[in-house]
Structure 1
C-alpha cells in the first residue's frame, strides 16, 4: 500500500510566485491517496485564490482564523489536530523566519505552531534572500527543532537570473517527502530488511561496438526496487540499464555482462535478506570477444559466432542460502507453467514470477504486466493485467505473507 494512502496532509502556502506549483504538488499527493487540506497566508492569496485550492482539494481552505462556520471548533487547532503530515510550500523567507521564532500571527502560522505532526519545509525565494545569514540561521533553527528542510534547486528565478532558491519540481518534492516518511515509519512491512534487486537485460560484447542482449527494458526490476523502498526496505538495485530514473532512496550499482552481474550479486548476497532476480540475463556469450570491430569479409561470406553459456546465477547462489528469501523470474513464450515450475524447483526458489511475454501488454518494454506467482507446495496466484508498480507490490506483499521477513 502506498504510504500516502488515506494520509491527512496539510499544505501551508505562503506568498511567493512559486505558489502555483503547490497546485501540482497537491494533485500528485491526492493521486497517491492522500486527503489534502490547505492553509494560506494573506499574501499567498494574492498569487493563487483560495477558491482554486478549495476546488482542487474539495476541502475548505483556512485563511482567516476568525471566520468559521462551526462555533464548536477553533479553526487552527482543529486543522492542526487533523493533520498527520504538514508541508510548508513554498516556504518564503518570511514564513521560515516566523516558524523558526515561534511567531503565530495568522491562521497559517498558528496552525503550524499548534500541530504535533511532522513538518516538511520546502524553501523558495530569491537567491540573495536564501543566502542571507538570517535565513540560514532560521533554517538551522528549524532543523534543530525537528523540522525537515529540503534544499532548494538552482535555476532561473522570477527576477530573471539564475540562482539557488528555486522551488524544486513537484515530482521531486513528492519523491523527497515519500522517502522522508519511509524513514520515519518503523512498522512498514520490509522495515530493517536489506533487499537486493536486479534489473535490465545484460549485454555480452561481440566486439567494441556490438553485443548480444534481449528486449528487457528493466522497468519491472525498477518497479520492484521502488515498491521495496516504499515498504521500508534498504534497497540496492543492480542494473544492466542506465536509461531509467532511479527510485528515490535506492542505491544503484550498474553492470553490463552476466559475469559482472554474478560478481556483484555474489558480493551483496551474504548480507541480503530478500533477493529479487528480475534481470533478464543473457543465456549465451561469445567464446571470445573481438578487440577490434569485426569487419565484413571481402568475399561477403557468412559470419559464424561461437557461443558459450553464461553462468546460471540463481543456481550458483542456491547452495549459499542461509536466511535469504529468493525470488526469480521466468519470461516464457510457450508452456508457461511447465517451464516455470521446473525453474522454481531446479533453482530452489522461494517464489517465482512467471509471465507469457508473447501476450500483448505483458513483459518487456511496456508499463503493464500480468504474472503468475508460484511457490513450493502452493496453488499458483494469477494476477490481472496491472501496472508494473502494482505487480511489484503484489509480488512483495505475497513474499511477506509467505514469511520473507524474519524477526
Structure 2
C-alpha cells in the first residue's frame, strides 16, 4: 500500500540579483540619513561658535566623507586653518593652508588664504608668491589684474611690472583698469621709459595699430573709444589720423573766424557781456582777453565732448568753429589767467590737467575726424 510522503520545499538560493536589490534598498533608506549627517558636519565645521576641538573634529569627519570633491575638501581645510588663525597657532594654520591648496590647486581662493597666513607669520616673500599665484589663476579678472599690478608696483619690481603690462598689450588683453583719466597709471608708465621700456614700445605699437583700424573705419565705436584713451595717454606721441590731408584744410583767419562765430552763435555775446559792453566777439577778445580765454576754452571742451559722444555733420561743424576760436584766443594752448577767479568764475580744471586731457596731437586728430564728417558723401565717414 502506497502512502504519500511529504516533499520538502527547495531552499531559495541567494542569487547575485537578490543581493543587489537588497543593497539598493538599503542605500535608498540610508541616503537621506547620510545627507543629514553630512549637512550637520558642514554646519559645525563652518561655524565660528562652539568648542574649538569639537569644530575641528567635525571638519576631520567631513574630510573623511568628502573624498572626491576638491572644492569641498579645500573648504574644510580652510575652515580648520581659520580656526587655528583665531587662536594664533600659525604653524597649524599654515599646515591646513597647504592642504587646502593641495586639495584644489587650480582655485585662487586657497592661495589667497595661504597668503594671509604667511603675511601674519612675517613671511613676506612667501606671501608675495602666494598672492601672485592667486592673481595668475584669475587671468581675465580686472580686480585681480589691478591687484597684481599694485602689488608689483608697491614692491618696486619695475622689471616685473614692465613685463606684465607690455605682455598684456602685445597679447591684446584688456587693460581698461590701467586707464582712468588724466592721472592714469598707463600714463605714468609711458612717461617713465627708463623704468618701463618694454611697455612704452608695446604701447606705441598698439596705438599705431588702433590708429590704423580707426582711420579705416571711423564709425567703429569700440575702436574709437580705445583710440581716444590711447591717444590721450600718448600725448605728443599720438600718431596723426590723416596726416596727408592736413595741408588741404582751410587756413585759420581769426577776423573771419570771429565774424563767423558771431553769426553762428549770436546769443554768446548776449549771455556773457554786461549791458553797454562789447557787442561782438572781436571786441570782447580785445577788451576782456582773460575772460574770453576762459569761456572759449570751456566751450571748446564741451564741443569736443559733444562730438565724441555723437559725431555727426552738425557736431563736426560745431567742433571746428570752436577749435578755430580756441586757436584765435589762446593759440591752441590751454591757458588760465594768473588770478584764481575771474568775475566769480573758478576754473574746474588745472592748466596741466587740461593739456593732458586734450593733448595737441589728439586735438589735431579730432579736426581730421571732423573734416571726414563734414566732407564725406552723406555726411558720414
Query: Is TM (by shorter chain) over 0.5?
Result: no
Q: TM-score, normalised by structure 2?
A: 0.27
**Highest RCO, 1 vs 2 (Cα 8 Å, sep ≥ 6):** 1
Greater fraction of residues in helix = 2
TM-score if structure 1 supplies the norm length?
A: 0.26
Higher strand share: 1
